[in-house]
Structure 1
Amino acid sequence: MRANRGMELPEDFWIPVPLDTNNITSLSPFLVPQDHLGNSATFYAMAGFMFFIFVVGTGINILTIGCTIQYKKLRSHLNYILVNLAVANLLVSVVGSFTACCSFAFRYFIFGALACKIEGFMVTLGGMVSLWSLAVVAFERWLVICKPLGNFIFKPDHAVACCVFTWVFALIASLPPLFGWSRYIPEGLQCSCGPDWYTTNNKYNNESYVIFLFGFCFAVPFTTIIFCYGQLLIVMKMAAKAQAESVSTQKAEKEVTKMVVLMVIGFLVCWLPYASFALWVVNNRGQPFDLRLATIPSCFSKASAVYNPVIYIFFNKQFRSCIMTMLGMGGGGEESSTTQSVTEVSKVGPA
């Protein structure tokens, strides 16, 4: 399937197949099922997957926010950032996954062009907040455990400032397509919307926007995460070596190593397919690609609404304990979290 180079493209969508007719609206993703892109089973399978992400992602993130409101002991500086992450995930699951589920079920974007722009903006905003929140969590752990600023204390005010920072940076990334730098159009199988990284329309400067997103919203957060967690692992190994006889220290070191590996893998699963595929399309204009494959990266990014809280929230024993208590499953006796244990054993690290 190739882009229609040299052809006047409609303002609100892109036709990803060669046309033999001048009536390009006859295949509009806002008007007719996109059966020319895939069979019905593919669309219905994606609808089922999006429904799962919508139900589970919405439930987990609402539970996380509600649990924090109910239990004062959860209102620590780190948990502020985790709740910020939950709010961003909730935005993606409620707006993005629900809209995609309905559209896949009907096999086209049934809500219209304006809703496409709104959905594209809201999902991009939530995704960018989520992405930057992951970097902020890593940065906070680096400050608290590795102590690069000596006795600097990370306070709730700092956590609130970090949360505001994530939304400001997310708005910087998600607003431009609404004002002419790129645009939000149906992507993949045309049942969900995102930035236009398909076309070479110079009017929108799509290539420069995709490169901006890749550098500003993927490379920078990913570098931050790798650096901060790399330093954390070094400090933990130093602590484990200095306290070789301590069973609790050795256990904490193993827990943190597992947690860091899961966090990095989770980040890559969320965002690497999307960033890589968009960059590939920008650098390989005119090359054929299967729109069904183009849908997969988008779905992975939306699925972050489920596995982000599983990794970041349920790895926190305080959160896990309070959620179990809230659901009537006991577990109220656990007060400490993995990260709190890490902070204790890392006191042998650099001051």
Structure 2
Amino acid sequence: MDRYTSKLSPGVDYSAGTFLLMIAILTILGNAAVLITAVRRHSVLKAPELLTVNLAVTDIGMALSMYPLSIASAFNHTWIGGDQSCLYYGLMGMIFSVASINTLVVMALVRYLVTGNPPKSGNRFQRRTICVLISVIWLYSLLWAVFPLLGWGGYGPEPYGLACSVDWAGYQHSLNGSSFIMALTILCTLIPCGFILFSYAGIAWKLHKAYQSIQIHESLPNTRTVERKVTLMGILISAGFIVSWTPYVTVSLWTMFHSGGKDSVAPIVSLLPCLFAKCSTVFNPFVYYIFRRSFRRELRQIWTCCVRRIAAGAPVLFVIMDIYSSKLSPAVDYGVGAFLLLIAILSFVGNLLVLVMTYKRSTQMKPPELLSVNLAVTDLGAAITMYPLAIASAWNHHWIGGDVTCVYYGLVGFFFGAASMMTLTIMAIVRFVVSSTLQSAKEKISKRNARMLVAGSWLYALMWALFPLIGWGKYGPEPFGLSCTLAWRDMKDHSQSFVITMFLMNLVIPAVIIISCYSGIALKLYVTYKSMHDINRMPNMIKMQRRLMLIAVLISVGFIASWTPYGIVSLWSIYRPGDSIPPEVSMLPCLFAKTSTVYNPFIYYTFSKTFKQEVNQLGRLCGISKMHHASPSKNFPENTIYLVCVENKEKQEAIKNRKAETQIMSF
């Protein structure tokens, strides 16, 4: 589309891409150093310092999830991916930017409450309190990022065409857009900045009054000097963020209120504030290096350690712990890695096909089908974010990355697993409601409601994934050493309530709901079939309902059956001695659970004629284009995805049935 073509010259595009590449490298290296030093001293890390870690996570998350796409688009002179990648880019930008500014707000408030009090009073902020605040920050950010997906506001390309953000120009087009932008500006920009300014002004006043009152004391000046240095560091971090984003917000507000909208600002003028805003992810590590001796000391130790290891020919791993060494033989490790590679490829290709087919027929897609898309996203997300690390660790015969990657792997696994289970539960309920009559699914559930259900499943999964970070539950390595999940053994004494609640809310109750719904559907179909008087009119619809129910049942059974052995072994490990399960036995259920991301595309291909025809059509386009061109075009309507190769009345009947299938279909 024309709006995704760069409005800049190729020379400016290459310069912008080079600048973003430099920013990305500095951001990743600097914030990775912050995270590594935090891991090395995690046992002595104060609770408020977790906010600094969270700020580094937001910066490095933005660099990893956004900058590669914008760099590639700049060098390509056209935005890559169209509407879908634009939506993704705007969503990521919203999540990380809102999370960053709210982290700065909490940091400022914590500093205000701590400053001027005796040193031990900092203990009022326990780790659990700070973790709760961090969780609230991410949930708040996710909420604002999801609003445009639910219909309040929207995302769109920047005026220069090589980035995406909130559709600021939508302020002039509708009350929906203007209300969203005004609420976003007030709640996510003006009020947070006000809190930051007033907090640090209050801190400065406290330090000024304290400095005047310590003339007769000898032991206090050192404490005040430390507080002043910490306050100055916080002010510089906040000022760096606010100053970086102020030009961008100013230009965006200009496009909101100017009658010309996006066209009122020259492309090069809209580019410069956007690039300057990206610099906000770079500043913080430099501020830490200048004002924190401990950070400088840690970096020197890491550098010395790296140089020594490289000189000795050893791998550069900062912390090697026995719990992350493989308990399996090298041959078994290589076999596990090869198996996971196969699963990753099948999962990636299969679920990508589902998403491609969905994109091809996005204009015809019915609301319940969003649940099938969401299920493909969860499976594809697990394959992309988890399997590469597990494969590399298996072939390395040692878990790579230590505690940080272990927590990441466990969190992502729990997140996508819970999202999948909730999606299957919602699918079962929707299928039950839709099958109550032979009406269109669209009459039962709107696209807005479907999006809200999808967003609810992700928020529910995120909530459960964050509980172990707050202190309710814990992530840790598997017994065989090459994977991470919930630390079942460690939770035996401290978090049994979490284990019981988690199993009930994420396995037992959803499984009961799924079984009840599909049993009810089967009973309805049986009663309907028995009560039919005119057998010649209803069989096609009944067969269609039965086939769609079979698809949904197989998907649910595949997921639950894959994870049940793992759940049983995990419960066994809680209530039995740690060495009661050999490493090989604990490994097999884990591998079997990974296969849950593979089944669904094969089920669709086997039982869904529409999906099979779409895949076959794609195969003809990609591999047998000559045969495709040789076939008469009249047999393949241009605007339909569901191609039916039958004639006359049979063809019309088949098309009619296919339309009916898409109306009640949620895979």
Q: TM-score per shorter chain, which class?
A: 0.7 to 0.9
Q: Tell me, yes or no, if structure 1 residue 232 matches structure 2 residue 521.
A: yes
What's the offset of the Cα at 1:212?
1.9
Q: Tell me, yes or no, if structure 1 residue 102 matches structure 2 residue 396.
A: no
Match for residue 310 of structure 1 among 599, 602, 606 = 602
Residue by residue over 1:186-233, the C-alpha shift from the partner in whole angstroms, topping out at 9 and shown as x without a partner, is: 11421111111022564xx33222212210100121011101100110
Give the 3-state SS of the residue equivalent to 1:194 in structure 2: strand
Match for residue 591 of structure 2 among 277, 281, 299 = 299
Give 1:167-316 correspondences, 5 Å limit.
167-200=458-491, 202=493, 205-243=494-532, 245-246=535-536, 247-248=539-540, 251-252=543-544, 255-256=547-548, 258-259=550-551, 261-286=553-578, 288-311=580-603, 315-316=607-608
Cα distance in structure 1, aligned partners of 2:320 and 2:375: 41
Match for residue 62 of structure 1 among 339, 344, 352 = 352
Name the CA shift for 1:231/1:303 in 2 (closer, same or farther; >3 Å).
same
Name the CA shift for 1:113/1:339 in 2 (closer, same or farther; >3 Å).
farther
Match for residue 153 of structure 1 among 439, 444, 459 = 444
Give the 3-state SS of the residue equivalent to 2:391 in structure 1: helix
Q: Tell me, yes or no, if structure 1 residue 123 matches structure 2 residue 417.
A: no
Give the 3-state SS of the residue equivalent to 1:182 in structure 2: coil
What's the offset of the Cα at 1:291?
1.9
Cα distance in structure 2, aligned partners of 1:293 and 1:339: 47
Name the CA shift for 1:339/1:287 in 2 (closer, same or farther; >3 Å).
farther
Name the CA shift for 1:103/1:178 in 2 (closer, same or farther; >3 Å).
same
What's the offset of the Cα at 1:74?
5.0
Backbone CA RMSD of aligned residues: 3.2
Give 1:44-63 correspondences, 5 Å limit.
44-63=334-353
What's the offset of the Cα at 1:121?
0.8
Name the CA shift for 1:286/1:191 in 2 (closer, same or farther; >3 Å).
closer
Range moving further from structure 2, 95-104 or 225-234: 95-104
What's the offset of the Cα at 1:342?
9.8
Report the residue type matching 2:430 in the other structure. Answer: E
TM-score (norm 1): 0.79
Structure 1 gaps, min length 5: 1-9, 12-24, 345-351
TM-score (norm 2): 0.43
Cα distance in structure 2, aligned partners of 1:52 and 1:300: 13
What's the offset of the Cα at 1:54?
0.8
Report the residue type matching 1:316 in the other structure. Answer: S
User: Bigger radius of gyration, 1 or 2?
Assistant: 2
Residue by residue over 1:238-291, the C-alpha shift from the partner in whole angstroms, topping out at 9 and shown as x without a partner, is: 222233734535644653564355234313322211222222222334561112
Name the CA shift for 1:342/1:242 in 2 (closer, same or farther; >3 Å).
farther
Range moving further from structure 2, 325-334 or 184-193: 325-334
Cα distance in structure 2, aligned partners of 1:119 and 1:339: 42
Q: Tell me, yes or no, if structure 1 residue 28 matches structure 2 residue 322.
A: yes
* Contact 1:259/1:315 (<8 A) preserved: yes
Name the CA shift for 1:313/1:208 in 2 (closer, same or farther; >3 Å).
farther
Structure 2 counterpart of 1:321: 613
Report the residue type matching 1:231 in the other structure. Answer: G
Report the residue type matching 1:299 in the other structure. Answer: L
Structure 2 gaps, min length 5: 1-41, 44-318, 622-627, 629-640, 645-654
Cα distance in structure 1, aligned partners of 2:422 and 2:476: 24
Give the 3-state SS of the residue equivalent to 2:520 in structure 1: helix
Task: Specify which structure has the bigger relative contact order, considering alpha-carbon pairs within 8 angstroms and separated by 6 or more residues.
Answer: 1
Cα distance in structure 2, aligned partners of 1:164 and 1:338: 28
* Contact 2:604/2:611 (<8 A) preserved: no
Report the residue type matching 1:159 in the other structure. Answer: A
Structure with greater proportional helix content? 2
What's the offset of the Cα at 1:92?
0.9
State, as a whole percentage, how many aligned pairs show the same letter: 24
